[in-house]
Amino acid sequence: MEKIIYAILSGKINHGKLTTLLSGIKGIEGADLVAVSFDQISAVVSNIEKADLVANQINAFAFAHVIEILEEDYPLLPMRFGSIMKSAGSIQEMLEKNYPEFRNNLQKVENKSEFGLKIVCDTEKLKTELKSKSDAVNEPSQKSVAESRDSVFREYVNQKLKAHRLEEMLMGYIDSIIAEFTGFLIELDAVKKIKKMTTATTIIDAVFLLEKDKKAELILAIEAMQSKHTGLNFILTGPWPPYSFVDITLKQ
C-alpha cells in the first residue's frame, strides 16, 4: 500500500504533540494519519491504494481538511492533491534530498496566510464607460469621419485602431486598480501574485501572502476599494494555507 502526502511541516517538532494531533484527524477515506520525519521537518501521510484515488469533492475536501487543521499549529507547505510515494522510506529519502528547499520555503510562509482576490465586472459595460469618457475628452474631428467614409480600407483600419485603443484603456484602468491595492499591500508587507484578464469577466485574479494578524487590515482595505469602485465586484477569500506560494518541484 502506498502513502499519500498531505503537507510538509516545519519547526522543532514535538513528536508527542504531533502524534496526538494526528490521532484526532482522519485522512482520505477515513485513513489514519502518521508523520514521517527527517531532522526538523515532517511529512504527514496516510495509506492509500494508488488505483483507488479519485479526485472527487469528498476526497479533495478530506485532503484540504487535514491541511487546514495542521496549519493552525504548524508552518506548512501543502502538497498537491494526488502526491503519492511507495513507502515511508522513500518519503524520508525525498525529505532528506529536498531539505534545504523545504526549510527555505517554510521560512517564507511562517506565520502567514494566503488570501485570494478576484475582481470581476461586466467588461463590455466597462469598455463602453471608458469609451464615453474618452470620447468626451477627444471629440473626433469631422475630417477623420469624412475620411473614413471615403475608404472602406480606412474605415477598417480606424475600427481596428479604436478597438486597440479601447483595449489599451481597459488595461490602463486595470493597472490603476492594481496600483491602488499594491499601495496598501506594501504597507501590509504582503507578497503578491497578480494575473490580469483571466476570464472575460475576471479582470484581476490575485493572491496575497501576509502575516496572519493583518487579516482585519486587509479586509478593511478591500472593503474601502469596493465602496469606491461600485461597478466592480471584489471577491476576497481566505485565510488559506499557502497553496499559491509554494515553488517546489520535488526531486524523488
Partner 1 sequence: MNNHNVIDQSKDITILELLDRVLNKGVILTGDLVISVADIDLVYVGVKLMLSSVETMEQLKKVKSISEE
Q: Which residues bind partner 1 (CB under 8 A)?
A: 5, 8, 50, 53-57, 60-61, 63-64, 77-85, 94, 116, 120, 201-202, 219, 222-223, 226, 233-237, 240, 243-244, 246, 248-252
Cβ atoms within 10 A of the Cβ of 192, count?
18
Task: Return the number of the residue (13 or 120) whose C-beta is nearest partner 1.
Answer: 120
In degrees, to the nearest 5, what angle opens at C-alpha 125 toward C-alphas 120 and 131? 120
Distance of CA 103 to the CA centre of its chain: 21
Q: At closest approach, how far in Å is the CB of 50 from partner 1? A: 6
Q: At closest approach, how far in Å is the CB of 75 from partner 1? A: 14
Q: At closest approach, how far in Å is the CB of 213 from partner 1? A: 18
Task: Return the number of the residue (36 or 77) whose C-beta is nearest partner 1.
Answer: 77
Q: At closest approach, how far in Å is the CB of 181 from partner 1? A: 12
Task: Return the number of the residue (21 or 225) whose C-beta is nearest partner 1.
Answer: 225
Q: For 200, which DSSP code?
A: S
Q: Which residues pair with 35 in a beta bridge?
A: 44
Q: At closest approach, how far in Å is the CB of 223 from partner 1? A: 6
The answer to whether 35 and 18 have CB atoms below 8 angstroms apart is yes
* CA distances (Å), origin 58, targets 5, 62, 81, 128, 143: 17, 6, 12, 43, 65
Q: At closest approach, how far in Å is the CB of 163 from partner 1? A: 24
Task: Return the number of the residue (148 or 182) whose C-beta is nearest partner 1.
Answer: 182
Distance of CA 237 to the CA centre of its chain: 10
Instruction: For 237-251, give one letter per residue: b (16+ CB within 10 A) or e.
Output: ebbbbbebbbeeeee
Task: Return the number of the residue (8 or 18) whose C-beta is nearest partner 1.
Answer: 8
Task: Return the number of the residue (158 or 244) whose C-beta is nearest partner 1.
Answer: 244
Largest CA distance in the chain: 84
Task: Return the number of the residue (21 or 105) whose C-beta is nearest partner 1.
Answer: 105
Burial of residue 32, with CB atoms counted within 10 A of its CB: 0-12 exposed, 13-18 middle, 19 or more buried: exposed
Q: At closest approach, how far in Å is the CB of 219 from partner 1? A: 8
Q: In this structure, what C-alpha cell is assigned to residue 226?
A: 469596493
